[in-house]
Amino acid sequence: MKKFFPLALAAAMSFGVSFGPAAPISFAQAVSTNGGSIQGTITDPSNAVLSKASIDIRGIDTGFTRSITTDSAGFYSIGPLNPGTYEVSVSTPGFQKLVVTTVVRTGTATSGNFKLSVGQSSETIEVTAGELQVNTEQAGVSDVLTNEQIQHLPINGRNFLDIAQIEPGVILQSGESFDPTKAGYSAISVGGVSGRTTRILLDGQDITDETVGTTIFNVSQGSISEFQLNRSTQDVSGDITSTGQVLVASQSGTNRIHGQAFYNFQDYRAVFADVQGQKAPFQRNQFGGSAGGPIFKDKLFFFGNIERIKQDSATPISIGSQFPQYQGLSLTTPYKETYSVVRLDYNGPLGGHYFVRGNYNVNSVASAFGDGFQRYANRDNTPGIAGGADFQTGRFTHSFRGSYEKFHNLISDASGGIFNLLPGITFENVVQNLYTGPNDLAPQGTFQSDKQFRYDGSWTKGRQSFKYGYSLNRIQGGGFAAFFGLAPRIRETSGTAIGDPTDAINGYHASSIVLGNGLGFFTEHSGFGLIGGGVGDWREGAYISDTIKLTSNFTLNAGVRWSVDTGRANQDLATPNCSDISSTLDPSLLPCTGSTPLFSAYNPSFTQSHVHQPYGNFAPQIGFAYAPGNHKTVLTGAYGIFFEGDVFNNTTNARTGVIKQGAFFNDKSICASGNFVQPDGTVVNSATVGGVTRSIASICSGSVASAAPYAIALQQLYQQNSAANATSANGAYIGQTLDAAGIYAPNYKTPYSQQWNFGIQHEIAKGAILRADYIHNSTIKISQETDLNHLGASRYLNVTAAKNAIAATTAAAGCAGGSSQAAINCTIAAAGEGAGGANILGGNGILQSFAGNGLDSGANFNGGLSAGFNGVTPNTGAAFPGQNQLLGSGAFLQPIGRSGYDALQVVFRQAKSHPFKFVDRGNIQVSYNLSRIVSSSNNSTGDQFFSGLSYDNDNPNAYIGRANLDHKHQVSFGGSFTMKYGPQIGIVGHFSSAAPTTLLLDNPLTTGNIFQTDVTGDGTVADLVPGTLPGDYMHRVKPTNLGAFIQNFNNTHANQLTPAGQALVAAGLFTQQQLVAIGAAIQPIATLPQARALGNPSIRGMDLNFSYPIRLNRFREGMSLEPAIAFYNVGNFSNFDPSKGPSGTLQNVADGGDGNGGTVNTLTGNVNGLAGPGAIEAYRVGRGSGTFDQGGPRSTEFQLKLNF
């Protein structure tokens, strides 16, 4: 902060020194996140520049005026200006006066290049510029979505972000796909990257959710003037983001009283399509209005808007075929939201514009985050106030913005009164999509406050225009998340069946039982009235840029931006030393002692005392715009570096591992170990209910129904002990476990992208623009989790530990000889398992028996923890313990991830009156996007900036392939037409090719899987199928050739040993035949049950609306009553959620059951399983939370508007 204080001071001095009467001089390019501008060069018929030409502008709607003169280069620029229509008058002696009516857009420099004609200055020529113009000043790639589009295109739920889908490379996402706190919100993905990190600014102030992403409050459609979407190389004044940025401008009052009242109604009985074959009750009432006008004409204006949604719905829950008795049930998911905005605008001294805006949003929605009947209630309250001032002093322009916003979110359980198999239990059968009981995400609270200030200034000298600025945002976050806090979670799988497989609670034993400690903090800092959970950040930014008019038609832009986010990687904490290792660990099993940095035990270079705080984030950019001839064609090119943020969820998830004590959330999964350690150090291995005591092993092996009361008793015991010892030692502290578990590495770097774009714009006709751009975005330094201790890596075999594991297994089978070949053969024979390992998936399968005694990875046998923490020595622990046998996992977050996006984007836009015969008014946009997004992140959601894993710990960037949000082809369009003798028609369409799928080896085992699916020997399991890259399915491997691909795999890889198996053979512990016999080899993949595999479907959607304005001019000029009807997904196109299926895991023969892929469950079919409509119907997109309905079944809305 100290480093850039002089820049802020210089800005303030430029204000103070030049304070005085406004002088009529030219301004610098003042476009920023705060508004638009008009700028250009005035020339005579011979293209000679005209200096000291008088420029007078007037806002048509507000009477705002400002006068300036061109400089010695004939150049002028003025802004920031509110979006709207302006009249520009240009005059100079010896030339006719020119009056041009033009439009200013948010974040855009509107061309003011005008040529004067020789004549008397008393003569006036009036010209109306096209509503759409080529951008002759800016080199980046962006578009403005206008108020006309927002008002007339069909937008389901009046969600303003919905319209962004007509832009190339944009995908609309449900906010709930990020986090349960975002139920009822939407987000937009730009350039193949999750919408979590798309930056959203309202009136120049950031309204992005810093905890999980997207926005902290919904903005009502009626309060929006327009918004700009930046897709590449955004302006240097833009905020921190490496992907996309949305600049939203709110409505303001004008000299005319104007407004709208509306009522929208939807009901499932009125032209709705069924949801998964069911009549799903649904009704939405949405109503509200806005009004604006003058308080004092040309001076003071008001605007207000309020909207309300009341929605009642029932969501069908698709249960798998294993439990037909529960099919046909639905979950009620009510939703209510009220949002309001008030604003005052003032045309005041210094030729300035001043405003203040207040907003309040309350959102209440019930949802389940995809977890069946586990309903929760989500409620948000978000107040905010913002203000700004744009004015001039002497040779300088000034723009100030300040705001305060607060986000208050609470999640509580709402499962009462609905279908529940086991009261008091969070029950889950994931494969069959059967979820009942309290939601394991509740209770939760998420809080955020933003105190923002920014200054943007500009100054012009000759052909050069300088702009500069500084911003400061004090962001505070907080909250709690007591996962599993309301009930223990019991899960079952098809492999835990012990009886009737159609009896969900008596026919299965638990595959896992998880207890929550009832505490919910992830940091030790207080905040928002809580004793923990607080997190804070000082975000600073500063920039300076120079725009040079080399000629009247060639503009060169160059600038640099500096930014910092403090504490996002827990830089406030000192990294632990070896002396911080718990004294409870055996001193003989410590990896280091004294003041040696503990992290250096994982990587010798990790010797820093704190995680690196990147104060040196300087981001240069350069670009050009060349408009030869008549300025109807523009060539653009730009390059820039853009830094990315890090959401607080990443910060807090990585923090608990480096804090010694606190009231932190923790959980215990008890079935694997048969016991758990309480916070006070006592060991629990049994529970008593009704006077009957059972061991945890007995509880987990009995029916789920019989386990339920004991799980409740164990959770109560755990929570009581946790509450009594809330400030005791943190069981997740790295000094206790020697498990890095997602901690930031000391060499943290801020992710950033290098963006390139080259394009051409051409004005085909007045008001019609065709634009084509090539975009390249290369992002590096992404935090990606990699195990630096390489647990399970085949090259780190502890032969003694392996022999001990073998001997323990052979002894349990009653075979003498310890780890000898004879003992192993005896054990195989005793288990009754011959060649091929036909029964290796049984509950007591021989491979699991060997693994359960230690012939496994340290990630499995030691749970990723150190041998000392588990009370064993390296020789009695895991056979593959990693590089340092005294450590646990070294899963640090390192700045090693990368991604790349390449796209050809083509956009045609037209907005004009009388574009065709019988059409009074037309506004159309058609976009095409040809692209590819690749990433090194092993993340199934395509969310590269959140919880990214590595495909290979030895070479994290060895496998870079298509990300999950990649869609090679996208066609989008939106248009509205006012017919001369008929209705107004609006249409929106969005079509894209299928998303990719990553092909993975089937990994049904929880232990011993390094012998089946770790084909690279790095210790990770469920590897990519050899010969493929991420996202290969639907591209290099297609549904038509998957069968041949599987056949080739089975011929070349099946029954071969993984590197872990090869290590055992090389050490003389097993023969290849023995390993194949127990199933410790790569398994053959089940062949296809049909010629063509199950493919990923494309995305299709088209919305239509029809309205008929009834003019009421006899009551008031411009008044109309407008009945309308809108159809969303009018064709009822079937769309399917790629995140739910089909799964890219290729079922192996044993897992498939019949050698042909087996019976594919109705929710997550495998791509090598059964194909056909029935295999994908279960994951057809339904209605989302709130108003999000992208790709859902057809719905119909009846609308009535009163415009005045």
User: Distance from CA of residue 1145 to its chain's centroid?
Assistant: 24
The Cα-based distances of 1004 to 918, 1010, 1083, 1175 in angstroms read 64, 12, 11, 21
| Residue 1012 placed within a domain | yes
- Whole-angstrom Cα distance, residue 458 to residue 465? 7
- Output the pLDDT for position 156: 93
- Output the pLDDT for position 1: 40
Whether 36 has a pLDDT exceeding 60, the answer reads yes
Question: Mean of the pLDDT values across residues 840-854?
Answer: 72
- Maximum average pLDDT range among 118-127, 454-463, 762-771: 762-771
- Structural domain for 1079, as ranges: 799-889+999-1032+1040-1092+1138-1179
- Output the pLDDT for position 1153: 52
Handedness of CA 152, 106, 98, 349 (dihedral sign): positive
The encoded tokens of residue 132 equal 């759409």
The encoded tokens of residue 297 equal 């004409």
Helix/strand/coil for 457: strand
Question: Mean of the pLDDT values across residues 546-557?
Answer: 91
Give the CATH number, domain containing residue 71.
Answer: 2.60.40.1120
- Whole-angstrom Cα distance, residue 1001 to residue 978? 56
Percent of the chain with pLDDT over 90: 69
- Whole-angstrom Cα distance, residue 911 to residue 832? 77
Query: Tokens 């505490």, residue?
Result: 519
Question: Mean of the pLDDT values across residues 421-432?
Answer: 92
Query: Is 1165 within 8 Å of 1147 (Cβ atoms)?
Result: no
Helices (H), 131-262: 147-152
- Whole-angstrom Cα distance, residue 850 to residue 857? 12
- Output the pLDDT for position 13: 35
| Residue 297 placed within a domain | no
- Whole-angstrom Cα distance, residue 1104 to residue 989? 9
- Output the pLDDT for position 1143: 84
The encoded tokens of residue 80 equal 């920031």
Whether 91 has a pLDDT exceeding 60, the answer reads yes
Query: Tokens 């298509």, residue?
Result: 962
| Residue 1174 placed within a domain | yes
The pLDDT-based confidence of 350 (bands split at 50, 70, 90) is confident
User: Distance from CA of residue 1096 to its chain's centroid?
Assistant: 22
Query: Is 447 within 8 Å of 536 (Cβ atoms)?
Result: no
| Residue 494 placed within a domain | no
Whether 897 has a pLDDT exceeding 50, the answer reads yes
More confident residue, 1 or 966: 966
- Output the pLDDT for position 80: 84
Domains in the chain, number: 2
Question: Mean of the pLDDT values across residues 158-163?
Answer: 87
| Residue 158 placed within a domain | no
Angle subtended at Cα 676 by Cα 810 and Cα 680, rounded to the nearest 5 degrees? 140
The pLDDT-based confidence of 406 (bands split at 50, 70, 90) is very high
- Whole-angstrom Cα distance, residue 281 to residue 266? 11
- Nearest by Cα to 152 from 989, 914, 1126: 1126
Question: Mean of the pLDDT values across residues 541-565?
Answer: 94
Q: Is 839 left (phi over 0), alpha (psi -120 to 50) or beta?
A: alpha
- Maximum average pLDDT range among 477-481, 1095-1099, 1180-1184: 477-481
Question: Mean of the pLDDT values across residues 797-807?
Answer: 97
| Residue 836 placed within a domain | yes
- Output the pLDDT for position 369: 86
| Residue 487 placed within a domain | no
The predicted-structure confidence for 271-302, as pLDDT tens digits, reads as follows 888 887 778 899 999 999 999 999 999 999 99
Single residue among 134, 150, 185 that ends a domain in this structure: 134
Percent of the chain with pLDDT over 70: 94
- Whole-angstrom Cα distance, residue 751 to residue 998? 25
The predicted-structure confidence for 188-224, as pLDDT tens digits, reads as follows 999 989 999 899 999 999 999 999 999 999 999 999 9
The encoded tokens of residue 1071 equal 């023969």
Single residue among 134, 153, 178 that ends a domain in this structure: 134
| Residue 88 placed within a domain | yes
Whether 373 has a pLDDT exceeding 90, the answer reads yes
The predicted-structure confidence for 911-957, as pLDDT tens digits, reads as follows 999 988 889 999 999 999 999 999 999 987 678 898 789 999 999 99
More confident residue, 801 or 7: 801
Give the 3-state secondary structure of 638-661: EEEEEECCCCHHHHHHCCHHHCCE
Where do the DSSP E strands lie in 394-463? 396-413, 426-429, 434-436, 444-461
Single residue among 85, 106, 134 that ends a domain in this structure: 134
The encoded tokens of residue 1178 equal 């279960």
- Nearest by Cα to 773 from 747, 755, 796, 746: 755
- Whole-angstrom Cα distance, residue 236 to residue 467? 9
Whether 771 has a pLDDT exceeding 60, the answer reads yes
- Output the pLDDT for position 86: 93
Whether 1120 has a pLDDT exceeding 70, the answer reads yes
- Whole-angstrom Cα distance, residue 423 to residue 442? 16
Whether 836 has a pLDDT exceeding 50, the answer reads no
The Cα-based distances of 1071 to 721, 824, 975, 1065, 1067 in angstroms read 49, 10, 69, 5, 10
Mean pLDDT (the chain, rounded) = 90
Handedness of CA 279, 282, 283, 289 (dihedral sign): negative
pTM confidence score: 0.89
- Output the pLDDT for position 33: 67
Handedness of CA 718, 720, 723, 726 (dihedral sign): negative
Handedness of CA 785, 786, 789, 795 (dihedral sign): positive
Residue 619 burial (CB < 10 Å; 0-12/13-18/19+)? Answer: buried
The encoded tokens of residue 220 equal 């009502």
The encoded tokens of residue 828 equal 């195989």
What's the chain's length in residues? 1204
Whether 404 has a pLDDT exceeding 70, the answer reads yes
The predicted-structure confidence for 328-344, as pLDDT tens digits, reads as follows 888 999 999 999 999 99
Count CA within 13 A, CB hemisphere, residue 379.
6
The encoded tokens of residue 1130 equal 């009018």
Query: Is 107 within 8 Å of 247 (Cβ atoms)?
Result: yes
Helix (H) or strand (E) holding 891: strand 891-916
